[in-house]
A and B are shown apart, each in its own frame.
Chain A
Amino acid sequence: MTDLAFIGIARAAELIRTKALSPVEYTRALLDRIGRIDGRLHAFLSVSADSALVAAREAEREIMAGTYRGPLHGVPFALKDIIDAAGLPTTAHSRLLRENVAAEDAAVTSRLRAAGAVLLGKLSTHEFAIGGPSFDLPWPPAVNPWGTRRFPGGSSSGSGVAVAAGMVPASIGTDTAGSIRNPASMCGVTGMKPTYGLVSRRGVFPLAYSLDHVGPITRSVADNALVLQAIAGHDPEDPASASVPVPDYSADLDRGVTGVRIGLVRHFYTEDAEPAHEEQIAAIDAAVAVLRDLGAEVRDVRLPPLSDFATCARIILTAEAFAIHRGWLATRADEYGELARARILEGAGVTAADYIDAQRLRARLCRLTQDAMADVDVCVTASSFDPPCAIDDPAAIARAYPRQARQPFNVTGQPAIAIPCGFTKDGLPLSVQIVGHPFEEATVYRVAHAYERATRWSDRHPPCDA
């Protein structure tokens, strides 16, 4: 049982392909696990056991008949509950959408189904991907499997928790200001925010149109590459979708990092704000030493100050979010949780000129970042500045919210992955972020995979069976 809970996609796929593992057996094992442990973790808002077993039986029938669709065939996954799956609720973890049932699959859902993956259910999020963790909503917030009184990150909180706790090998999250990479960092798993436009946003409830990204959370880098492979690609129905070739993200994973040029963006987490937690800084230093030992060339890189990115991102995010929610705020303000309402209302104070200037600042920040990264293949920096704080301490949550270096890459749209890079002496996850040039996810995966193989941090799992 434990083996199936923490088996990786690549290994599961090999067993399924060779008919040594039944997709039905795999799906049942994970459904049983969800039933056993999710009452404490609250990762799932809804579990679609019946339809999952139907999909698993269909996968099994196809594979037994000789039709194997690829590495996700018969592999379970789950969706952040702002992503549509036909016939299932999409609540956005909000009272406002409690009765909402999706008519169609989101693009990402239909791509995963086409790859043969088996949807187990919908995952907890911060309300509308902005307002959490909140205790004034119809469902409790997800908690961290490394310590159930700890914050699991957000807004794709359930997506991080479900993967870390072995309830699914992969989940899909969204990232507008760091919401894939934050739960990945807090839960000790791997979260990729791909390049803006690489993965379709069609059928995903928007938070901020020009900053929203969809991407995978998994336990390993190799698994992450397999999921991105299935969901990346042009969608003419998403106005921001990029029409670019999708390379084989797994092809270069084992090439190592000899000669790869890495820029260390240290000022983000040591100078631009109150410095990151000392154990977090030490873990990044150690990660850089590992990469150097593996043959990478590491040099310091200076990007614009973190505060410039934060100003730019928050003005754009709140203005776009307010435009989306204004109608409901005018008539149903009471139905929002306090946190979501307060954060979205910030957009009411953004003037048209402020918004345009923020988008002009964004162009400048993109150009300066591109110039600064001209001589490197990837950058390495912090994701979160601190280990997970207490989930029921609003002051600690408020302090943690801006203490991150993820937002810059929502502004620039570059691919960025958060991967585990150790644990505090109290046993809480630490993480490092690797950032690539636009549409160079393969290079990001290559560096992340080399580091992961050298350190094996992702082999550790939280003690949620206790």
Chain B
Amino acid sequence: MNDASDAKRMASAAGLANMDARHLDQLVRSIGESRARASRLPKDLAWTEEVAFTFRPRVRPRTAR
């Protein structure tokens, strides 16, 4: 995971194709932290438990014909 080609692959997957070696190291560390955090998400979320905020279409006033 820590070798240069893996880091470049991770950067490319994230849309960050032009990072230098120092930034790639930082990216690998940051991604490691976020993966560790994601592993702490609960495993018992039921399919009925929806996201906190959902898109709602808004009614906009229209000009009369």
* Chain A residues in the interface with B (C-beta under 8 A): 210, 239, 307-308, 311, 314-315, 318, 322, 326, 329-331, 333-334, 338, 341-343, 345-351, 354, 356-364, 366
Contact = CB atoms under 8 A, between A and B. Distances in A.
A162 B52 CA distance: 36
A415 to B, nearest CB: 17
Among A307, A334, A363, the one with the most B-chain Cβ atoms within 10 Å of its Cβ is A363
Among A314, A326, A345, A357, the one with the most B-chain Cβ atoms within 10 Å of its Cβ is A345
Nearest to B47: A360
Interface of B: 10-11, 14-20, 23, 26-27, 29-35, 37-38, 40-42, 45, 49-53, 58
B41 A354 contact: yes
A358 B14 contact: no
B61 to A, nearest CB: 10
Given A330-B17, A354-B41, A361-B45, A349 B23 contact: no
Contacts, number: 96
Contact of A349 (B20, B35, B51): B35
A308 B32 CA distance: 19
B33 A346 contact: yes
A361 B42 contact: yes
Given A360-B51, A361-B42, 8 more contacts: A330-B15, A330-B17, A333-B16, A349-B31, A350-B34, A351-B38, A357-B45, A362-B51
Nearest to A319: B34
A345 B32 CA distance: 10
A359 B55 CA distance: 13
Leading 6 A-B pairs by shortest Cβ distance: A349-B31, A349-B34, A359-B51, A345-B30, A348-B14, A362-B52
Nearest to A356: B51
Contacts of B29: 342
Contact of A346 (B19, B31, B41): B31
Contacts of A358: 41
A318 B40 contact: no
A356 B49 CA distance: 11
A361 B53 CA distance: 11
A348 B10 contact: yes
A280 B51 CA distance: 36
B14 A315 contact: no
14 contacts: A239-B58, A311-B37, A311-B41, A314-B37, A329-B16, A333-B16, A345-B27, A346-B30, A348-B14, A357-B41, A362-B51, A362-B52, A364-B45, A364-B49
Contacts of B17: 330
Nearest to B41: A357
B45 A348 contact: no
Contacts of A346: 30-31, 33-34, 37
B3 to A, nearest CB: 17
